[in-house]
């Protein structure tokens, strides 16, 4: 027969768009609308309901950027509609292509009961099914006029990202406010035709199934009277029953649909707006659960659940009931869906501690999976942390965004630095906003890389980013796709149900070892330096506060600040969300973050100082408190004492200009340009700086990526570089052990102080940048005379090796990577560490010198500052201070030690007595990351530590207090039944540790 497929497909599209969809609401009457605009920030519900609104008409502009408007809609259901299904259709001026990214609303009844959320793909509110006719309708809508930041022409700089600069121009036009009859038969016909039309488009052109659907669709359209769609819709549906009833083949891919609304805790909106986004979404989802018995919904991020509990108790009651019914499912077990590259060891652990404990305390539910669909890559230390929290599984999606290499698995075991393996799934649907489109379902089946050995995958289903969740249309489509020939089979299931099936069918999946590096969004390691510094310093202040408060509590009865530390930890964890810490949020978010970190610094400093005063007692002797995990200048780790003073640094003039610093261990030559041209290890008789090169060199690159300005740096940035070698000033420091260098470039100014502490093998570089560049990237370079094929960078509870070369596309793609406190490069027997107090992004390259010795130059560069203009057009403008240190002759243990030292400066307190450490460990390679009192208030001391050198070891931890018992626990401080009992001898506990092993030890006090 003739092929008229294209004709039928085109006919279907037009008839759906122009006749059938408009007939879903065949009758309507306008509602009366009035509005009250809140004068400032959002007001309590009672105030919004009580406000006196003014009339407004459809077509009127409304909503200043970030404003809140309370709409009151009233009307009467016509008597003639008796027996019909009636809905209010409330269109605030939505663009249906932007769910989650523009105005939204939450509908209330007059008594303040929340009904459901409104968003671009969810504009209806059920009035009655059926109605009696004559009902009075009165609804209130709390509408947020959030401006569109990411528009159709994306990444354009905008001042809309902060309420202080956004202006007052109305953002939206009120579009439709009606009561309308819902023709459910027509609505069902729309779903039938959408499912079949989308499936048809994915089937091979020469397949019999495709042509069966073509003929059935043609017959359905023939049966439809376009002037009486409602009257003929049932007949049209009857022509489709056969093709909709054809069952899926036995080998069809199986998709577990999980209702989902990925809500960024902040991004193109501030934190306060996320509180409302969560309320709207949870209202929608609890309502949908009541209407759809097969549907299940999963929500991650305990912080978002806590917001509902705190701010929307009426919604919380509905959520709790749905959880009890097993249909509204806590997922992920983390406080937020955090970045996982930059949070420190202890912070990453606490994400799980606080997240899992919230779900346990509120619902008695423990999650077995980490749920991180949108996080920008995963650090190699994470599997051990997930396992230590009592979980065994991970779901992620973002790796599908990698630009260069396609990840080879969708279901696999992920192995971390210590050998821990986590069962991991990476949904082949390639979105965490699945809408049940035929193209998405077909893509998941085609894309699944584990065919032949597995057939299950997961599809997070619902509008996300800015929330909204699953719609009734998605649920209806999933019902038709449950068992449909030509399609993957779709069933609603919880994450736990999916993982149980996936593990059962694939007991020995392939293994991926090391980090899950995202080949995209690399600049998130550098953007918004102030936010990153606030995070790093808060993490270390929390370590100090817990250490000294616990020590003082045990020794002096100091009141341990449980509630304050809990609150501060949760605030720090919130700001590790994957669009806050990475620097990819609007200006408002980062302005608030900087203020929050400043406040936390004051609070934590006050706790530290109070505990240290309690420990030192009254006296006039000056003591140094050492909160680092290694002894320092004769002061033990975690203790206080009088430091040993020794050594001297000589400052002299350098021949040819410049200065020489010499402390007997290192001789540093700084030339007339203020650059380090020699860093000589006197004991090893070895030069650190590559011949003809200079260290401490600031380099400036243009930085205008193809997309995603705050997120991305594209490799072509390296094609152009300006070495900042001109100096305004190079002078000897007043302390006699440092050199001060001042440079100007563009509209910016840099002051560097290079100092060589007496008796120390480290050159400290303090860099202050008054930064006023645009679309530039500032690097700090250390070209080293070291031949190495790999280098180590610190990650959570250990370090991870990356190649210095780019042999393969996988290695070449890692041209910007993450480190915590150190990067270490080594030849056998001699190495160099670069340590830092607040930077994360870096790159390492190697080159073979073509003249002279033909040796290898390995260049380590720390990333300091960027200046993207989207989404914050003023990113990083202003003054920043960084501290780095060059440590020649460093082994990996030196790198670990110096990394901690630069982040935990000593504190001097006058008092009467030394302070012995609360606990100590006899192995330099075993690092204590936390000393605290147990969260349950029992008074037990909790110590967390890990093997940090990558070597097997046996270590003894000694408690300097009477010890009644020692128990190995998980991160939540619960005994581990499968852990070997520690060997105890009095107040000492001995354990064997594998490389990078993490241990939490709970010590009962005698």
Q: Please return the burial class of 145, using the count of CB atoms within 10 Å of its CB with bins 0-12, 13-18 and 19+.
A: buried
DSSP class per residue in 866-885: E---SS-TTTT-EEEEEEEE
| Alpha-carbon gap, residue 421 to 392, rounded angstroms | 8
Strands 27-30 and 176-181: antiparallel
Measured CA distances, 719 to 82, 520, 703 (Å): 72, 19, 11
Whether 374 is a known active-site residue: answer: yes
| Alpha-carbon gap, residue 411 to 67, rounded angstroms | 44
Return the structure tokens found at 547: 């250490």
| Alpha-carbon gap, residue 974 to 957, rounded angstroms | 20
Q: Do the Cβ atoms of 440 and 429 come closer than 8 Å?
A: yes
Please tell me whether the peptide bond between 130 and the residue prior to it is cis, using omega within 30 degrees of 0.
yes
| Alpha-carbon gap, residue 465 to 494, rounded angstroms | 20
Give 234-281 as a 3 state SS string: HHHHHCCHHHHHCCCCCCCCEEEEEECCCECCCCCCCHHHHHHHHHHH
Q: What ranges make up the beta strands (E) of 642-775?
A: 650-653, 659-662, 666-670, 676-681, 686-687, 697-702, 722-724, 729-732, 738-745, 748-755, 763-771
Q: Which residues, 6 or more positions from 504, have their beta carbon under 8 angstroms from its beta carbon?
A: none
Q: Which residues, 6 or more positions from 365, have their beta carbon under 8 angstroms from its beta carbon?
A: 323, 330, 359
| Alpha-carbon gap, residue 196 to 98, rounded angstroms | 25
Q: Do the Cβ atoms of 611 and 370 come closer than 8 Å?
A: no
Instruction: Determine the longest span between alpha carbons in the chain, in angstroms.
Output: 103
Please tell me whether the peptide bond between 260 and the residue prior to it is cis, using omega within 30 degrees of 0.
no
Torsions phi, psi of 159, nearest 5?
-90, 5
Give the end-to-end CA distance of the chain in Å, rounded to a whole number. Answer: 91
Q: What ranges make up the beta strands (E) of 363-480?
A: 369-372, 393-396, 411-415, 421-425, 456-461
Beta sheet of 983-985, edge-to-edge order: 919-921, 953-959, 988-993, 983-985
Measured CA distances, 807 to 210, 380, 514 (Å): 46, 21, 18
Residue of 192, 374, 662, 837 marked active site: 374
Return the structure tokens found at 536: 């790093």
Q: Name residue 956's beta-bridge partners.
A: 990
Alpha-helix residue ranges (DSSP H) falling in 904-959: none
Q: What is the DSSP letter of 452?
A: T
Q: Which residues are marked as active site?
A: 374
């Amino acid at each position: 027969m003739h092929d008229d497929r294209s004709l039928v497909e085109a006919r279907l599209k037009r008839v759906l768009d122009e006749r059938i969809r408009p007939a879903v609401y065949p009758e309507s009457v306008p509602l009366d609308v009035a509005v009250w605009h809140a004068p400032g920030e959002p007001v309590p519900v009672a105030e919004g309901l009580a406000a006196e609104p003014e009339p407004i008409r459809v077509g009127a502009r409304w909503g200043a950027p970030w404003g809140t408007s309370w709409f009151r809609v009233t009307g009467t259901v016509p008597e003639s509609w008796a027996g019909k299904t009636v809905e209010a259709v409330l269109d605030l001026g939505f663009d249906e292509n932007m769910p989650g990214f523009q105005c939204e609303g939450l509908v209330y009844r007059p008594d303040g009961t929340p009904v459901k959320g409104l968003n671009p793909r969810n504009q209806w509110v059920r009035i009655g099914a059926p109605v009696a006719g004559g009902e009075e309708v009165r609804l209130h809508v709390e509408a947020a006029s959030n401006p569109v930041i990411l528009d159709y022409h994306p990444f354009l700089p905008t001042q809309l990202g902060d309420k202080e600069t956004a202006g007052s121009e109305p953002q939206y036009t009120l579009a439709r406010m009606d009561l309308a009859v819902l023709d459910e038969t027509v609505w069902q016909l729309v779903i039938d035709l959408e499912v079949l039309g989308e499936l048809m488009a994915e089937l091979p052109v020469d397949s019999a199934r495709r042509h069966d659907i073509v003929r059935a669709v043609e017959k359905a359209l023939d049966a439809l009277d376009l002037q009486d769609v409602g009257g003929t819709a049932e007949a049209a549906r009857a022509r489709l029953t056969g093709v909709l009833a054809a069952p899926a083949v036995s080998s069809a891919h199986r998709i577990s649909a999980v209702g989902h609304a990925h809500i960024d805790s902040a991004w193109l909106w501030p934190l306060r707006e996320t509180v409302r986004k969560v309320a709207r979404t949870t209202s929608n989802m609890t309502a949908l659960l009541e209407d759809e018995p097969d549907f299940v919904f999963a929500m991650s991020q305990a912080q978002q659940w806590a917001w509902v509990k705190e701010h929307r108790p009426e919604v919380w009651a509905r959520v709790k009931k749905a959880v009890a019914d097993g249909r509204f499912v806590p997922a992920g077990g983390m406080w937020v869906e955090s970045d996982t590259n930059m949070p420190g060891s202890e912070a990453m652990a606490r994400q799980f501690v606080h997240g899992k404990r919230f779900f346990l305390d509120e619902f008695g539910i423990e999650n077995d999976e980490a749920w991180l669909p949108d996080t920008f890559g995963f650090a190699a230390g994470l599997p051990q942390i997930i396992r230590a929290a009592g979980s065994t599984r991970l779901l992620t999606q973002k790796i599908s965004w990698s630009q260069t290499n396609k990840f080879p698995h969708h279901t696999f075991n992920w192995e971390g630095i210590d050998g821990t393996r986590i069962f991991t799934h990476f949904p082949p649907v390639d979105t965490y906003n699945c809408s049940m489109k035929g193209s998405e379902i077909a893509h998941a089946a085609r894309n699944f890389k584990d065919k032949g050995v597995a057939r299950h995958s997961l599809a997070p289903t619902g509008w996300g980013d800015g929330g909204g969740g699953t719609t009734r249309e998605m649920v209806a489509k999933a019902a038709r796709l449950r068992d449909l020939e030509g399609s993957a089979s779709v069933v609603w299931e919880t994450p736990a149900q999916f993982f149980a099936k996936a593990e059962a069918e694939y007991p020995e999946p392939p293994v991926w070892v090391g980090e899950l590096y995202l080949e995209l969004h690399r600049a998130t390691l550098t953007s918004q330096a102030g936010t990153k510094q606030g995070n790093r310093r808060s993490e270390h202040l929390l370590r100090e506060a817990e250490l000294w408060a616990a020590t003082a509590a045990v020794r002096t009865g100091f009141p341990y600040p449980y509630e304050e530390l809990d609150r501060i930890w949760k605030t720090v964890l919130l700001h590790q969300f994957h669009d806050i810490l990475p620097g990819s949020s609007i200006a408002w978010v980062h302005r608030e973050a900087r203020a929050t970190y400043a406040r936390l610094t004051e609070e934590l400093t006050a706790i530290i100082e109070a505990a240290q005063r309690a420990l030192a007692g009254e006296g006039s002797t000056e003591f140094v408190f050492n909160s680092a995990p290694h002894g320092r200048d004769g002061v033990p780790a975690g203790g206080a004492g009088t430091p040993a003073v020794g050594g001297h640094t000589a400052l002299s003039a350098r021949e040819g200009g410049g200065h020489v610093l010499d402390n007997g261990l290192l001789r540093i030559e700084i030339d007339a340009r203020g650059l380090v041209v020699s860093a000589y290890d006197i004991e090893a008789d070895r030069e650190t700086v590559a011949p003809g090169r200079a260290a401490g060199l600031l380099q400036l690159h243009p930085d205008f990526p193809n997309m995603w300005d705050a997120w991305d740096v594209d490799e072509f940035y390296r094609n152009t570089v300006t070495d900042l070698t001109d100096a305004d000033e190079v002078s000897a420091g007043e302390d006699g052990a440092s050199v001060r260098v001042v440079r100007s470039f563009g509209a910016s100014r840099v002051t560097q102080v290079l100092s060589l502490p007496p008796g120390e093998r480290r050159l400290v570089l303090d860099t202050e940048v008054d930064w006023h560049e645009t679309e530039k990237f500032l690097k700090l370079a250390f070209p080293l005379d070291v031949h190495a094929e790999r280098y180590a960078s610190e990650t959570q509870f250990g370090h991870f090796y990356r190649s210095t070369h780019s042999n393969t596309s996988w290695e070449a793609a890692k041209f910007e990577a993450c480190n915590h406190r150190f990067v270490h490069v080594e030849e056998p027997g001699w190495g160099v560490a670069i340590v830092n107090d607040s930077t994360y992004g870096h790159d390492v390259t190697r080159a073979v010198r073509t003249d002279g010795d033909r040796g290898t130059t390995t260049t380590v560069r720390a990333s300091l500052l960027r200046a993207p203009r989207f989404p914050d057009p003023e990113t990083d403008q202003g003054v920043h201070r960084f501290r780095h240190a060059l440590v020649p002759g460093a082994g990996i243990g030196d790198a670990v030690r110096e990394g901690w030292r630069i982040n935990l400066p000593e504190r001097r307190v006058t008092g009467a007595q030394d302070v012995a450490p609360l606990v100590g460990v006899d192995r330099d390679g075993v690092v204590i990351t936390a000393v605290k009192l147990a969260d349950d208030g029992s008074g037990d001391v909790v110590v967390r530590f890990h093997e940090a050198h990558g070597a097997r070891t046996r270590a003894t931890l000694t408690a300097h207090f009477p010890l009644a018992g020692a128990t190995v626990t998980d991160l939540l401080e619960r005994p581990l039944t499968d852990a070997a009992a520690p060997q105890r001898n009095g107040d000492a506990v001995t354990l064997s540790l594998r490389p990078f092993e993490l241990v939490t030890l709970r010590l009962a006090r005698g």
